[in-house]
Amino acid sequence: MALDASFLAQLQNSSERLIQLLDNFAQARVLVVGDLTLDEFLTGQVERISREAPVLILRHENTRQVPGGGANAVYNLATLGAQVKVAGLVGKDDQGQALRHIFEAAGIDTSGMLLDPDRPTVTKTRISGHARQSVTQQIVRVDRKSDELPDQDLQLQLAKYIQQHLDTVDAVVCSDYGDGVFTQPAIEAALSHQKTIVDAQAGLQRYQGATLFTPNLPEAEQAVGYAIASGQTLTQAGRDLLALTQAQQMLITRGEAGMSLFERNGIEQHIPAFNRTDVFDVTGAGDTVVAALTLSLVVGASFWEAAVLGNLAASIVVRQFGTATTSPEEMKAALLALLEEE
């Protein structure tokens, strides 16, 4: 995919600076407040049709467990080299333990993962099957979650943990998937930090005053209440979102159309997608954008530089199936490859 010549020149001129920023990611300290999810992938080979019902019988081959939802944002930050603390809720179940073990193995501080005795760990189990010499395909997904809010005492405990650790981190990321973590006490605590980045599927106005929001196009349309179908409506949406949230900056991710950056001073910038062809799975790409963007801002990047690195990170993970992560080394290689291609 050919990039616009002027953008390519800007990217070329900034390449050394971008690589330097990537080298500094390890200095960043981030607290992620998030709706923590465990993604499970069960795979098997189809043996036959059941005699009990018209369903496939799978011979189980393997089970893979990876962080999903807000937990994917946590894990992305860790694989990018940051020092990460996590604040959220898990159930008293095997899935919660699995998520904790994954985090601890990655060097993530899990002291803010509070146990919720009344609700299960949010778990999305994808069951896939294949016949001999055929492609594996997803058959069904089973979700485990509760629609009830956490107990009031647990809400206050979580808010207290967040408040107590604000001085130990350079930024706070709110990864809101609508699973109950973000009650008013938690939101107020997170917004007490001077650099709060919000990635929320809905209810952006609840985070008024946050530093930066990163809605995707459908989330932005839902927030403003109209379709974003032209350059004019895109510009209007950026302005309306800044007014709605009182944020300093707004980043709208637009899939194959790239990203659009809006600032309170009226500056509007657009970054093209770096990868439109080798896209296999966009699951979790937004979490990757938020992670790389946050670390870039923490280590001194401009808004444009941070968005470019977020875009670059996403262009890598969408080449893989399922929730995925990347690293500074992969990002450096991808940047150099992108410049060489052009």
287 is catalytic: yes
Among 35, 116, 199, 287, the active-site one is 287
* Structure letter (DSSP) for residue 82: -
- Residues with Cβ within 8 Å of 317's Cβ and at least 6 positions away in sequence, in order, are 284, 285, 288, 324, 325, 326
In 3D, which of 124, 157, 161 has the Cα closest to residue 143? 124
Amino acid at 231: G
Structure tokens at 215: 């809605």
Give the strand order in the sheet containing 122-130. Answer: 56-69, 36-49, 122-130, 137-144
HEC string of 32-89 equals EEECEEEEEEEEEEEEEECCCCCCEEEEEEEEEEEEEEHHHHHHHHHHCCCEEEEEEE
In 3D, which of 96, 80, 138, 97 has the Cα closest to residue 290? 80
Buried b (16+ CB within 10 A) or exposed e, 20-34: ebbebbeebebbbbb
Structure tokens at 62: 């393997």
**C-alpha to C-alpha distance for 169 and 176, rounded to whole angstroms:** 19
**C-alpha to C-alpha distance for 106 and 68, rounded to whole angstroms:** 15
Classify residue 147 by burial, with Cβ atoms within 10 Å: 0-12, 13-18, 19+: exposed
Are 77 and 106 spatial neighbours (Cβ–Cβ below 8 Å)?
A: no
Classify residue 96 by burial, with Cβ atoms within 10 Å: 0-12, 13-18, 19+: buried
Residues noted as catalytic: 287
